């Protein structure tokens, strides 16, 4: 829009082709004036719109600048807060640095910490060693106790089987130690095992039961004096008459109670015992067998031999050896008298002494290994004190 061109346009004459020739030229200026006013109005409107646009853009720019300024102010405030916190942290660090010791002291403390860690590791190793040693000591104490029990079983009961099992358990415990120092103790234990295995265990329970069975047979050993019974033999038939038993038959029946005819007169004839005497002999034989039972169960060889000798004398002196029952009982008594009830048990005193000596040497070695460890611990405590 160039305002300098408007007067040039207004000075130009407007020729109307449709108008008549007679119309004069001077009537054109009013239309040009109207057009000029319309162009100015349009220009003014355009200028107003441009001004409004420029003003709105300016207002938007101002608001945008205010928002960015506010944001920058908040950022500046946050930066100030961070700077303050950093300053406070710096002050705290400075205070801590002032409280920290010097480099030489830190080096000394680090060396002390390293030394303490080494001592702690050694103490842990020693503790594990001591705990393992204590377990081994308990096992060795158990082996000693087993040997004491075996010695007691041999001396009191002469129980070879139980003593052998106990000594075998002690030998297994010594073998678990895997210690060369236990060689002497294991040697004694091995000798004791060989001696026990070569010793025969007497069957005391079997002897007790066999003697009890003989006692049960004492009651039915012999009968009272036998009476003569009529078995249809011809001798009694000769004394009978046709009408029944005669006085000869009655007399023979009575005398047969006291008289017996033995056709083997060359043998030793023993008198038959009466009822009361037979009961006394049975009681004496039963008591002798009972005494032999007690001696067999308790391992009393002299009492056992004496009791069976008495039982043998009772059988030989009061019962007929030709009787099958008394003969079998006498043979059994003689056979039982040859059975041993006691044995010569090996002495476990040397074995027990060898194991005790090994335990003492082991305890002394453990105490010697503990003493050197106590000195570094005290030195470390003294260094940590300053």
pLDDT per residue as tens digits for the range 119-158: 888 877 776 666 656 777 788 888 999 999 999 988 887 8
Mean pLDDT in the chain? Answer: 76
- Residue 14: strand, helix, or coil: coil
Q: How large a percentage of the chain has pLDDT more than 70?
A: 71
Domain contains 89: no
By CB neighbour count within 10 A (0-12 exposed, 13-18 middle, 19+ buried), where does 157 fall?
A: middle
Q: What is the DSSP string of 150-208?
A: HHHHHHHT--HHHHHHHHHHHHHHHHHH--GGGHHHHHHHHHHHHHHHTSPPP-HHHHH
More confident residue, 267 or 10: 267
**Longest Cα pair distance anywhere in the chain, in angstroms?**
227
> Which of 223-226's residues contact partners 24+ apart within 8 Å by CB, and which partners?
224/272, 224/273, 224/274, 224/275, 224/278, 225/257, 225/272, 225/274, 226/260
Number of domains in the chain: 3
Domain span including residue 159: 109-200+345-384
Domain contains 260: no
* pLDDT at residue 366, rounded to an integer: 63
Q: Is the pLDDT of residue 93 over 90?
A: no
For 15-19, what is the mean pLDDT? 42
**Which residues are within 8 A (CB) of 376 and not within 5 positions of it... i.e. 6 or more apart?**
119, 122
For 232-236, what is the mean pLDDT? 46
Domain contains 332: yes
Lowest mean pLDDT among 64-73, 139-148, 160-169, 260-269: 260-269
Dist. CA 92–CA 85, nearest whole Å: 10
Tell me: do 12 and 118 sit in the same domain: no
Neighbours of 293 (CB within 10 A): 21
Dist. CA 6–CA 12, nearest whole Å: 10
- Residue 22: strand, helix, or coil: coil
* pLDDT at residue 115, rounded to an integer: 87
For 170-180, what is the mean pLDDT? 88
Tell me: do 180 and 53 sit in the same domain: no
Neighbours of 370 (CB within 10 A): 13
- Residue 257: strand, helix, or coil: coil
Tell me: do 207 and 289 sit in the same domain: yes
- Residue 218: strand, helix, or coil: helix
More confident residue, 296 or 249: 296
Looking from the CA of 194 toward its CB, the CA atoms found within 13 Å total 6
Tell me: do 331 and 296 sit in the same domain: yes
Tell me: do 115 and 196 sit in the same domain: yes
Tell me: do 306 and 208 sit in the same domain: yes
The phi and psi torsions of 208 (rounded to 5 degrees) equal: -60, -45
Is the separation of the CB atoms in 6 and 36 below 8 Å?
Answer: yes
Q: Is the pLDDT of residue 205 over 70?
A: yes
Tell me: do 207 and 328 sit in the same domain: yes
Q: Which of 11-20, 105-114, 299-308, 362-371 has the highest mean pLDDT?
A: 299-308
Domain contains 252: no
**Which residues are within 8 A (CB) of 211 and not within 5 positions of it... i.e. 6 or more apart?**
289, 290, 292, 293, 296, 336
* pLDDT at residue 19, rounded to an integer: 41
Tell me: do 217 and 296 sit in the same domain: yes
Tell me: do 196 and 209 sit in the same domain: no
For 152-169, what is the mean pLDDT? 88
Domain contains 258: no
* Domain end marker among 76, 100, 117: 76
Lowest mean pLDDT among 6-20, 116-130, 154-168, 234-248: 6-20
Domain contains 219: yes
Tell me: do 337 and 368 sit in the same domain: no
Domain contains 267: no
| Structure tokens, 135 | 């377990």
Dist. CA 18–CA 225, nearest whole Å: 200
Q: Is the pLDDT of residue 4 over 50?
A: no
Neighbours of 79 (CB within 10 A): 10
pLDDT per residue as tens digits for the range 95-104: 887 877 777 8
Tell me: do 70 and 134 sit in the same domain: no
Closest to 210 measured CA to CA, from 297, 321, 140, 306: 297
Dist. CA 46–CA 218, nearest whole Å: 160
The CATH number of whichever domain residue 164 belongs to comes to 1.20.120
Dist. CA 246–CA 241, nearest whole Å: 6
Dist. CA 47–CA 33, nearest whole Å: 21
Domain contains 91: no
Dist. CA 353–CA 368, nearest whole Å: 23
Q: Compute the chain's Rg from CA coordinates.
A: 69
Tell me: do 32 and 117 sit in the same domain: no
Dist. CA 315–CA 319, nearest whole Å: 5
């Amino acid at each position: 829009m160039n305002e300098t061109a408007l007067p040039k346009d207004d000075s130009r004459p407007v020729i109307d082709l449709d108008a008549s020739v007679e119309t004069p030229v001077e009537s054109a200026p009013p239309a040009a004036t109207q057009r000029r006013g319309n162009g100015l109005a349009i220009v003014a409107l355009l200028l107003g719109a441009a001004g409004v646009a420029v003003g709105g853009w300016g207002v938007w720019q101002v608001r945008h600048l205010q928002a960015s300024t506010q944001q920058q102010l908040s950022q500046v405030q946050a930066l100030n807060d961070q700077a303050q916190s950093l300053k406070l942290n710096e002050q705290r660090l400075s205070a801590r640095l002032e409280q920290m010791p010097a480099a030489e002291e830190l080096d000394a403390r680090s060396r002390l910490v390293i030394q303490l860690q080494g001592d702690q590791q050694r103490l842990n190793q020693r503790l594990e060693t001591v705990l393992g040693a204590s377990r081994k000591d308990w096992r060795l104490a158990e082996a000693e106790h087993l040997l004491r029990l075996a010695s007691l079983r041999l001396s009191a009961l002469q129980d070879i089987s139980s003593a052998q099992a106990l000594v075998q358990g002690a030998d297994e415990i010594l073998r678990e130690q895997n210690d060369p120092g236990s060689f002497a103790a294991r040697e004694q234990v091995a000798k004791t095992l060989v001696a026990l295995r070569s010793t025969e265990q007497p069957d005391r329970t079997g002897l007790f039961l066999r003697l009890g069975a003989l006692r049960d047979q004492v009651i039915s050993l012999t009968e009272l004096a036998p009476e003569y019974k009529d078995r249809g033999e011809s001798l009694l038939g000769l004394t009978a008459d046709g009408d029944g038993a005669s006085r000869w038959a009655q007399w023979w029946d009575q005398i047969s109670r006291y008289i017996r005819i033995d056709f083997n007169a060359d043998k030793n004839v023993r008198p038959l015992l009466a009822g009361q005497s037979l009961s006394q002999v049975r009681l004496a034989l039963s008591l002798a067998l009972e005494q032999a039972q007690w001696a067999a169960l308790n391992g009393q060889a002299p009492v056992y031999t004496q009791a069976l000798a008495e039982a043998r004398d009772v059988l030989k002196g009061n019962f007929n050896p030709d009787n099958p029952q008394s003969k079998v009982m006498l043979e059994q008594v003689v056979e039982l008298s040859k059975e041993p009830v006691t044995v010569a048990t090996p002495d476990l005193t040397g074995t027990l002494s060898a194991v005790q000596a090994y335990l003492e040497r082991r305890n002394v070695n453990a105490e010697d290994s503990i003493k050197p460890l106590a000195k570094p611990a005290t030195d470390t405590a003294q260094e940590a004190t300053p």
